[in-house]
Amino acid sequence: MLDNYKKIYMIGIGGISMSAIAEYLACKNHEVSGSDRTNSKITDRLESKNIKVYIGHDRKNLDESIDLVVYTAAIHDDNLEMIRAKELGIEMVNRAKLLGMIMQNYKYSIAIAGSHGKTSVTAMISEILIKAKKDPTIFIGGILPSINENFRLGDSQYFVMEACEYCDSFLNFYPYIGVINNVDLDHTDYFKDLAQMEKSFAKFARNVKDDGIIITNENCIEILQGLDKKIITFGQENSNWQAIDITYDENQCAEFYAVNNDIKLGKIKLNVPGYHNVLNALAAISVAFELKIDESDIKNALENFHGAQRRFELKGFFNNAKVIDDYAHHPNEIKHTIATAKKMHHNKLWFVFQPHTYTRTKKFLNDFAKVLSDVENVILVDIFAAREKNIYGTSSKDLADEINNLGGNAIYLKTFDEAVDYLKEKVDKDDLILTVGAGDVYKIGEKLLSL
């Protein structure tokens, strides 16, 4: 279907998913260009691959020679380039629908959904398939260190991708294997409550091909009631796949056996921390066994997996204090991040948090405050707006005040430079610094490490 479009323009090309699509299309000999609000490492990489990127949205970026315009859910009808494309009568398609079109070309398509852990599970499955020499095509919502990319073009029938629930984007996908890692209320600018989210995930499961397989966390099994498809669960004692005899090293990386009735994998030693990564590994193992991947390839891939970028990633040391960056941006994700960090050897813990979107911050203000009130030193910087404008009257200072009202210890510092200066003065040997959030808070750690 895409062969009909020679010149393709992408609005929001610098996004982690859009950039992967841009690379795929370029590899398939389409002439690709696009725009984004700001320059970034991603836009620089696209430019290095001869994909033209305009910084800023401008009507002049489009003309009659464009055959197709691709846009993300974050792009609205008042966008100047959207308006121009409509004036020119150019065919338009959203990101998710285009991904769904690409997916149709692959027999063994795997879509990983869930409120949390999508990138980690996608990365684990990708590494297993690469280790097993299945040569997969990969679309991932982060940078996979083994390829230093968020995209890999394979030459086989294996296709792995994240399936984002925002605006029901994942309902454009019809995979052979659909993974539901968990379901937790989020994206409250779209989903009004958990019940609406659960209905969307149930629809995603129904989209799995009739001869396909659903891999789900046992906690989500109720939303799949009445579904006449093969379902494999992972989790604890009531699941098909379970982890037993779990132990942790000093970095909180687990060692365990994965079992499924009479199937027992040899002991697996993870190199990513926390119990949540045990569950992520079980999801990946479940997929791999359904694809009949050799046990040795599964074990080797998981044991050599050191995480996707920005997922509890060790960035370096500042004055003999560890600097770790993590993508957590939901109260439950932050709870797991804190629990893992507290079990690691450290003197003082410095938790630098950048809330992500005004709607999420406002909806979960009390939940964020409760979780963060249990941390000895919290530094809050301004909310990362992403696709939103602040029409909600919510600020990071509000969150700092609420944390302190609950007996916590939080300080609001407006800019990254203020946060860097504060940490520079306060941090001692053997402290642990976490930069946390889905925005650009990682730059604080990078600035510290550059001093």
Total domains in the fold of the chain:
3
* Helix, strand, or coil (residue 217): strand
- Residue 145: pLDDT band (50, 70, 90) is confident
What are the backbone dihedrals phi and psi of residue 274, each rounded to the nearest 5 degrees, phi first?
A: 95, 150
119 is catalytic: yes
* Listed residue (439, 446, 433) closest to 396, CA to CA: 439
- CATH code of the domain in which 386 resides: 3.90.190.20
Q: Which of 94-103, 140-149, 435-444 has the lowest mean pLDDT?
A: 140-149
Q: What is the Cα 199 distance to its own chain's centre?
A: 21
Which of 274, 303, 332 is the C-terminal boundary of a domain? 303
* Listed residue (231, 224, 111) closest to 173, CA to CA: 111
Tokens of 145: 């260190």
Are residue 172 and residue 49 in the same domain, yes or no? no
Are residue 378 and residue 284 in the same domain, yes or no? no
Are residue 406 and residue 442 in the same domain, yes or no? yes
Predicted pLDDT of residue 33 = 98
Contact between 177 and 213 under an 8 Å Cβ cutoff? The reply is: yes
Q: What is the pLDDT of the chain when averaged over all its residues?
A: 95
* Mean pLDDT value of segment 350-355: 98
For the entire predicted model, the pTM comes to 0.92
Predicted pLDDT of residue 76 = 87
118 is catalytic: yes
Instruction: Please give the Cα distance from 240 to 258 (Å, whole number).
Output: 10
C-beta neighbour count of 422 within 10 angstroms:
17
Domain of residue 277: give its range: 106-303
One-character DSSP codes across 23-62: HHHHHTT-EEEEEESS--HHHHHHHHTT-EEEES--GGG-
Q: What is the pLDDT of residues 279-306, one digit of tens each?
A: 999 999 999 999 999 999 999 999 999 9
| Candidate list 43, 119, 340, 435, residue with the active-site label | 119
Helix axes 118-131, 295-303, angle to 10 degrees: 130
Instruction: Please give the Cα distance from 140 to 20 (Å, whole number).
Output: 8
Predicted pLDDT of residue 266 = 87
* Mean pLDDT value of segment 402-412: 98
Are residue 333 and residue 282 in the same domain, yes or no? no
299 is catalytic: no
Which of 303, 324, 347 is the C-terminal boundary of a domain? 303
- Residue 432: pLDDT band (50, 70, 90) is very high
- CATH code of the domain in which 174 resides: 3.40.1190.10
Are residue 124 and residue 268 in the same domain, yes or no? yes
Predicted pLDDT of residue 429 = 96
In a domain, 252, yes or no: yes
Instruction: Please give the Cα distance from 233 to 239 (Å, whole number).
Output: 5
List residues bridging with 160 in a β-sheet. Answer: 110, 138
CA angle 420, 426, 430 (to 5 degrees): 105
Are residue 30 and residue 146 in the same domain, yes or no? no
Instruction: Please give the Cα distance from 59 to 44 (Å, whole number).
Output: 22
Burial of 304 (0-12, 13-18, 19+ CB in 10 A): exposed
Q: What is the pLDDT of residues 228-265, one digit of tens each?
A: 999 999 998 889 999 999 999 999 999 999 999 889 99
Which of 239, 268, 303 is the C-terminal boundary of a domain? 303
Are residue 111 and residue 170 in the same domain, yes or no? yes
| Candidate list 23, 127, 162, 333, residue with the active-site label | 162
Are residue 298 and residue 326 in the same domain, yes or no? no
In a domain, 308, yes or no: no
Local structure of residue 10 (DSSP, 8 states):
E
Instruction: Please give the Cα distance from 66 to 50 (Å, whole number).
Output: 17
Are residue 112 and residue 87 in the same domain, yes or no? no
Are residue 286 and residue 318 in the same domain, yes or no? no
| Candidate list 118, 322, 362, 363, residue with the active-site label | 118
Give the residue, 408 or 146, on which the prediction is more confident.
408
Scanning 189-235, the segments in alpha helix (DSSP H) are: 194-206
- Residue 395: pLDDT band (50, 70, 90) is very high
- CATH code of the domain in which 56 resides: 3.40.50.720
Are residue 250 and residue 116 in the same domain, yes or no? yes
Total residues found in the chain within this entry: 451
Are residue 45 and residue 61 in the same domain, yes or no? yes
Residue 386 pLDDT > 90, yes or no? no
